[in-house]
Structure formats: structure tokens, C-alpha cells
Amino acid sequence: MINNKLIFPAQIEYIGTRKDKTLLIKLGTQELTPDVTSEIIRLHNTLCYILIKPEPIIEEDKTVTDNLNELTLADLPRRTQSQRLRSIFFILFTQNSENFKEFESYYQSKMEVIINHYKLFIKSNE
């Protein structure tokens, strides 16, 4: 690891598209050192910034990436809360459809559960 950066060769083995317009990119590596391997495992499910380049990384590339440390989530295009929730429901649906045949029915059912839950907190004007 160099300056909090992992640099290792990898091959893009699979690119998949998702319904929420995101990508799934699967990388295959050559044999890595134990330190790099453990760091990658530690970063599982962590938002990371990736530099993909079809030739070896040179010192100039490392300098350019040093300036990216100030980039935050606020700088990235954001989905709305409802888009994020819908994406979560879609993943849950693919893992367990709960006997729903279509995602839209599943989504509507889950949203009704949430709506009804929060309606219980509304105070009446009595």
C-alpha cells in the first residue's frame, strides 16, 4: 500500500448492468501479497475510488490521485432517498420475492407497510 492507496494489476472479468443503472464490475487479480489481500478484504462494502488504466500506473498518475483525497460523497451525483429505497427493495426482491411475481407489486406492498407504520405516529386533532 502506497500513501493509503492500493496499486495492483487486475483484469476486468465481468461487467453487468443493474436495473438502477449502476454497474457491477468484477476484477480478477494475479497473486497478491498478504498485506494487499487483507487490505482489499478489509475494504469490502466500502466506497472506494478506483483508477482504471490499461497500462501500468506511473508516478504522474499517483500524483494526480493525491488531489482526489478531498473528493467527498457530496461531490458525487446523488440519487434521491426514494430511488435509494427502491434499489434496496429491488435487491431484497431478488433475494426473496416473498411469492410476489413482479417487483412492482412487491415494491407497492413494502411501501404500504412503511406508510402504515408512520401513519400510526400522526396525532389526531381531537
Region 71-92 average pLDDT = 74
In whole angstroms, give the CA distance from residue 75 to residue 69: 12
Decide if pLDDT at 64 tops 90.
Answer: no
pLDDT the model gives residue 26: 92
Q: What is the mean pLDDT of the chain?
A: 83
Express each pLDDT in 92-117 by its tens digit: 888 899 999 998 999 999 999 999 99
Decide if pLDDT at 65 tops 80.
Answer: no
Q: Which residue, 87, 17, 11, is CA-closest to 52? A: 11
For residues 65 and 51, is the Cβ–Cβ distance under 8 A? yes
pLDDT the model gives residue 47: 82
For residues 17 and 23, is the Cβ–Cβ distance under 8 A? yes
In whole angstroms, give the CA distance from residue 22 to residue 17: 6
pLDDT the model gives residue 121: 93
Q: 34 or 51: whose pLDDT is higher? A: 34
Show the DSSP H helices in the chain as ranges.
34-42, 59-66, 81-95, 103-119
Range 24-63 burial, b when 16+ CB lie within 10 A, else e? eeeeeeeeeeeeeeeeeeeeeeeeeeeeeeeeeeeeeeee
Q: Where are the domains of the chain?
A: 10-75, 81-119
pLDDT the model gives residue 2: 47
Whether the model clears a pTM of 0.75, i.e. scores above it, the answer is no
